[in-house]
Amino acid sequence: MANKRTEPDLAKKLNGFFKQGTEGNRNWKDRAKEDYKFYWGDQWNEEDKNILKASRKPALTFNRIFPTVNVLSGIERQNRDMVRVYPRKGGTEKVSQALTELVKHTYDTSNAHYGESMMFLDGLICGKGWLTFDIDYQYDPFNGDLVLERESPFRVIEDPDSNSYDLNRDGRFIIRTYWWTEEELIMNFPKKKKEIEGGVLESMKETSPEEIVSTDDGGYKEPGEIYESAVFGKQKKRKYKVKEIFWREWKRRDVFINKETYDAVVVQEKNKKLIEKLQEKAGSELNFKIIERVLPFLHKTTMVGNVVLETEEDPFNGFHQFPFVRFCPYWVDGVTFGVVHNIKDPQREHNKRMSQLLHILNTQPNSGWLGPKGWYAGDEDDLETFGSKPGINIEYMSGKKPEQITAANPSQGHFLLGENAKQAVKEISGASADLMGHDKTASESGIAMQLRQRQGLLVSEGIFDNFAYSRQILGQGLVEIIRESGIYSPQEIKAVLHESIEDLDISQLQDFKTGRYGIRVEKNPNQPTIKMANFLMLLEAAKAGLPIPPQDIIELSDLPNKESIINHMKELQGQAPPQAGGQPPAGAPGGRRSPVPPTPEGMRPGPGEQPPV
């Protein structure tokens, strides 16, 4: 806990971070809200819809953005990669294998692949997707469980002055916001009950509902610190914005290094003088040395209003990276945007042209009436409204028969503009017909189709490259927190590995001497898309005449009963083994035909008769 005398200064500093992050991300947030609306299908602004409604004109929505984003999301889901740990700088292969299994275990227990896919979808839509990792003590109060979760982009505020894709390089803070009632605040922070009840919340309650900005689509609200939510009809609960601030500061500190194990420990200020005295007395005989370095230190502070509820100096026991991983499909010098951003204008154009074309078609039957002056047609308003209605009766004076005005043909320009806008959505986003697998001719082979799809992916290669980089950052963070925090006990490690790695010294997982470990993101050969590509390649090779066993081709297929098919093929092969010398069995294709057995007397066919079967 921070000293109470420093809490006002700390609150002022962190609220400054919050204000800076909110203002720096405001432009992105405004764009992101509109991007999500376009993905959902809410693509007309209220002013245009009201004008069209008043003039009795349609406002059609042909949502081309929805399938465009979904096809890219589907490609990611069908081609999920594997995170592997490899040794570097003195690391061992066994430890890297053990870390790979532990990372995979964390993925499986947290259903992290689904969270990553949601992070990818968020990035495609609004330009930012977030995945967080934390230690949950609900089921393991002692060691805790390492969990991964997707976080809403509207609840995360990062340092806008960061100039790196990886926020761990130069980012100062990342803030996560959520809303709690007064009861939830007191239950989680009972030591701050008096300050919560008599301090900040009382001042917030003076805010009238009329002054509060309504909650936006993503559930994140600003600038107000309080809002009223409807619960069970007319009952209302006031909730208060809680700010969970992860912030880093860089300090010049002495590092205590063991010369034998290379273990490094940051020297606390209170122990610095004692260690210096020991070093002076022992001289070079000591088995350690002290070096000075500028190091980052991670802090976690929870606030509501101006009240500091809790501060943790080292929340992850030596792990000083942010527990947040950001995915940006397009990132250029800090500017982030998704796929939807650049295809909103073609989508608007397509909607408008199709709406205008429908309006023209609707008005053609009731194009108006032409007649001599003084002709009688009953109520003119009724004629204008129901003139195109089947079976309408029109009265007119004798000798003054009216004639209906012939309408012009619909404009082809509206149709062409609408089609061009639809095509522009595909070209700009990269989700072309090649990528979707459309326009396949009957004579086109599977290999040719795969090549066309790969060619279509070139436009979107940067998106998947950035996603692989984000997963690499996530994997590196998971490895470091597993090694440094002791989140997995020795018993849990043995249970996870299932003795698959023999003679592993578990202490090496935390031993600095074994070196650091890198992260490699690899393609999983058992993924559906990759399996299909390999299957088609083998099939084409077999058609070309290469001697590929049929069971090897079936093994790469997705047939539901392929195992029984392969077993049946092996049984048939076992029943008819090849003869000595490599000759095929008699009667087999390519072998000699067996002679016709002699026919008993009395059964020989007569002239013109067929032999008995």
**Residue 602 pLDDT greater than 90, yes or no:** no
Q: How far apart are CA 463 and CA 453, in angstroms?
A: 16
Q: Which sequence spans correspond to the domains of the chain?
A: 528-571
| pLDDT given for residue 429 in this prediction | 79
**Residue 557 pLDDT greater than 90, yes or no:** no
Contact 486, 318 (CB under 8 A): no
- pTM of the shown model: 0.73
Tell me the per-residue pLDDT of 558-590, one tens digit each, with 9 for 90 and over: 666 777 787 777 777 765 444 444 455 444 444
Contact 584, 578 (CB under 8 A): yes
Tell me the per-residue pLDDT of 144-156, one tens digit each, with 9 for 90 and over: 788 899 999 999 9
DSSP labels, 166-178: SHHHH--EEEEEE
Cβ count within 10 A of residue 520: 15
Which of 78, 77, 98 lies closest to 87 in space, CA to CA?
Answer: 98
Tell me the per-residue pLDDT of 26-44, one tens digit each, with 9 for 90 and over: 999 999 999 999 999 999 9
% of residues, the chain, pLDDT over 90: 24
Contact 69, 124 (CB under 8 A): yes
| pLDDT given for residue 595 in this prediction | 45
Q: How far apart are CA 109 and CA 103, in angstroms?
A: 10
φ and ψ at residue 395, rounded to 5 degrees: -100, 140
- Which residue would you say has higher pLDDT here, 560 or 13? 13
Confidence of residue 101 (pLDDT cuts 50, 70, 90): confident
User: Which tokens hold the place of 225?
Assistant: 């610190």
Confidence of residue 14 (pLDDT cuts 50, 70, 90): very high
User: Which tokens hold the place of 296?
Assistant: 């980052």
